[in-house]
Structure 1
Amino acid sequence: MELLTLAAIIAGIIAVIIGLIVVIKKISAFYKQRFQFSIWSGVLLLVVALALLLISSADGTTQQTVYVMLVIAAILALLTIYNDIRLAGVAWGGLAVLLQIIFALGFVFLIIFALIGFVMKKLFNIHSSLLASIFGGLGIKGELLLLLHFLHL
């Protein structure tokens, strides 16, 4: 009974992931067809802005460096917002900005999860254990190939 429950949970998680991928692809195709722009450029700009915010909060950075990075991150975020509203209007552009923020946070989560899996594989030399079934497919090359395949609609 426990094995059947575990299989149902895993099948449900896989179905949710596939459903999310389909929804994200449809959203991306909608903005590309209706407004002739890709929302992924804004997602990548927001990821870079988030990375700059994280770097600026690190120990050992001077106050001047923090200000410069904060200004650059703000410019990238404002540029993304302006571009979306200019191309898609206020309502659809605002929705695009919201979706780009969600996708950027998901992208960062995916990168962190892939790095945790990669480090765990190297640190614990995982080959034939329960963790191997969880993190067995994770590797930087495989994740990047999956991401490239996903981005090329």
Structure 2
Amino acid sequence: MTYAELEALIESIALETLGGSGHFHCGNDLSLKLAVEEKGYPVVHLDPISGNRNIQSGNKTASVTIGFFEQGAVDLSAKEEQVIYARQEVVSAHFLAMLQEEDEVGDIAVRDTPVKNYTDQLLSGIACEFELKLPISLCF
């Protein structure tokens, strides 16, 4: 699977997960800021994917960081933060379950991190980090 194919797969699943409410973004923080200003919330944000290819073993490992965000606020109470985290954790779990159903994707071990007021747009939610092991024959 190429970088572009993996990004397209993640985008497709993210948009299906959002069900028409919100948008998908891939890129850096500056382009995320512009996308949120234009399209609003919620947003699924994919950082650029990095990876390693092991020619000998025939595998590629893609390192993925993806965030599930809604609008936060500077003055959120602890309870309001927890509500946002819980809501976005459900969205991320749905996304990951759909991703794992893909033939090329094996087991996914995820590290979740609550995020409060990320960027100037005060995005709050859950960031997920995981690696996908893909056959190298699909990487070219």
TM-score of the superposition, structure 1-length normalised? Answer: 0.25
More helix by share: 1
Which has the larger strand fraction?
2
Higher-Rg structure is 1
TM-score (norm 2): 0.27
Higher relative contact order (CA 8 A, sep 6+): 2
